[in-house]
């Protein structure tokens, strides 16, 4: 905890300056993080937060820019994870073709993105709040399917013994390389979303979110834009799914169950969906709570704690911690002016 505090606090402040310099400061701090963090903080907190943050980022992309709250993003990540287990190596004695990682990872990402686009096609038959219902139904159905089906998903036990590869003389399973691997992927995803949100396509998607009828009248293919957004979100969630399966070393229906699907939403809502940094912020908060709440309320009642925290955030600040910060910041600035010399 003490090791994390100094790196985390300035990070949260500089992000909210919402300028390029802020991003660079955060990146430098995150890159220097391994210098102060133990192996536990590096993987169980650092890498895990980055992975969960990426999955939530894919939700933030859809919900924040597209107005489509999809609860099936963990299923998309899970599809990538299962693809890695099936085409790569696993210990379960089912499938496991043993293809090299540089083929498996692109395949897994593309399969996930394709699945995500398909979910987009299905859920875009209706609009608004229906999306949540349809994607939740898809996520739940997929969870039950992986649990029942042994020929493809190996049922309840799932796949074990999936390992991050070794290349360039580096064993990417070790804490520090794995942290940098996650950081690299997360930074690329974050930058892509930030850049994409300012591109013509990104602006079009945001316009579709704000007024689909007008955009349709202007001649834009609303559904196609949304489905493409699902595809991009699927790439991010798919990459995160690959990292997640390497992180856990296994994938089973438990990884993608309904509470996992809802966890992704909780992270995005707690962090805030106005800016791509929100999901990462939320992931850090949730992972820290997950790790240290055990000391406060005991491991058993963690869900009550996170649920209540989530309820408070939804009631107090619909834009999550980012929105909360946005409201407090002006007051703080005034305080510092008054108390200043």
- The DSSP secondary structure of 240-288, one letter per residue, reads HHHHHHHHHSEE-GGGGSHHHHHHHHHHHHHH-SSSTHHHHHHHHHHHH
Q: Work out whether 265 is an interface residue with another protein (CB under 8 A).
A: yes
- Segment near another protein (CB under 8 A), from 173-181, 286-294, 305-313, 332-340? 305-313
Helices (H) and strands (E) in the chain, counts: 16, 4
Considering only residues 281 to 300 of the shown chain, the ones binding another protein according to CB under 8 A are 300
SS3 37: coil
10 Å CB burial of residue 63 (0-12, 13-18, 19+) is buried
Q: Could you tell me what percentage of the chain is helix, strand and coil, using 3-state DSSP and rounding each to the nearest 5? A: 75, 0, 25
Q: Work out whether 93 is an interface residue with another protein (CB under 8 A).
A: no
Spell out, one character per residue from 127 to 166, where the chain touches another protein: x when CB under 8 A holds, - when not.
Answer: -xxx-xxx-xxx-xx--xx--xxxx---------------
CA distance 161 to 173: 12
Q: Which one of 4, 107, 122, 192 is in contact with another protein (CB under 8 A)?
A: 122
Supply φ then ψ for residue 326, to 5 degrees: -60, -30
- Segment near another protein (CB under 8 A), from 186-194, 198-206, 276-284, 301-309? 301-309
- For residues 92 and 159, is the Cβ–Cβ distance under 8 A? yes
Q: Which one of 30, 37, 52, 69 is in contact with another protein (CB under 8 A)?
A: 69
- Segment near another protein (CB under 8 A), from 19-27, 123-131, 184-192, 219-227? 123-131
**Minimum Å distance from CB 260 to another protein?**
12
Q: Which one of 169, 315, 331, 338 is in contact with another protein (CB under 8 A)?
A: 315
Site size toward another protein (CB under 8 A) is: 40
Residues in the chain: 341
Number of neighbours of residue 320 by Cβ within 10 angstroms: 28
Q: Which one of 125, 214, 216, 329 is in contact with another protein (CB under 8 A)?
A: 125
- Segment near another protein (CB under 8 A), from 22-30, 53-61, 176-184, 257-265? 257-265
**Minimum Å distance from CB 318 to another protein?**
6
- For residues 253 and 143, is the Cβ–Cβ distance under 8 A? yes
**Minimum Å distance from CB 324 to another protein?**
15
How distant is the alpha carbon of residue 311 from its chain centre?
Answer: 20
SS3 171: strand
Q: Nearer to another protein by C-beta: 23 or 135?
A: 135
Q: Contact positions toward another protein, by CB under 8 A?
A: 69, 122, 125-126, 128-130, 132-134, 136-138, 140-141, 144-145, 148-151, 258-259, 262, 265-266, 269, 300-304, 306-308, 310-311, 314-315, 318
């Amino acid at each position: 905890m003490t090791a994390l505090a100094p790196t985390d606090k300035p990070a949260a402040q500089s992000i909210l300056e919402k300028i390029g310099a802020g991003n660079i400061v955060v990146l430098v701090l995150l890159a220097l993080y391994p210098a102060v963090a133990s192996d536990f903080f590096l993987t169980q907190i650092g890498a895990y937060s980055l992975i969960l943050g990426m999955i939530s980022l894919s939700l933030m992309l859809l919900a924040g820019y597209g107005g489509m709250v999809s609860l099936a993003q963990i299923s998309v990540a899970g599809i990538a994870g299962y693809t890695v287990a099936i085409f790569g190596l696993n210990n379960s004695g089912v499938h496991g073709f043993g293809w090299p990682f540089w083929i498996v990872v692109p395949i897994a990402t593309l399969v996930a993105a394709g699945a995500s686009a398909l979910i987009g096609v299905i859920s875009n038959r209706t609009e608004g709040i229906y999306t949540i219902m349809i994607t939740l139904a898809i996520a739940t159905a997929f969870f039950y399917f992986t649990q029942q089906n042994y020929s493809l998903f190996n049922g309840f036990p799932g796949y074990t013994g999936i390992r991050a590869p070794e290349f360039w003389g580096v064993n990417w399973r070790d804490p520090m390389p794995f942290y940098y691997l996650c950081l690299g992927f997360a930074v690329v995803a974050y930058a892509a979303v930030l850049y994409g949100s300012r591109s013509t396509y990104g602006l079009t998607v945001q316009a579709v979110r704000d007024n689909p009828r007008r955009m349709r009248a202007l001649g834009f293919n609303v559904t196609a834009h949304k489905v493409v957004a699902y595809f991009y979100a699927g790439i991010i969630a798919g990459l995160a799914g690959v990292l997640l399966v390497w992180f856990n070393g296994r994938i089973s229906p438990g990884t993608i169950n309904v509470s996992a699907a809802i966890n992704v939403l909780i992270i995005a809502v707690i962090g805030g969906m106005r800016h791509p940094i929100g999901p990462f912020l939320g992931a850090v908060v949730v992972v820290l709570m997950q790790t240290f709440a055990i000391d406060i309320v005991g491991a058993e009642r963690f869900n009550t704690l996170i649920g209540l925290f989530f309820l408070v955030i939804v009631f107090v600040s619909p834009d999550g911690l980012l929105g909360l910060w946005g409201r407090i910041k002006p007051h703080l600035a005034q305080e510092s002016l008054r108390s200043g010399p």
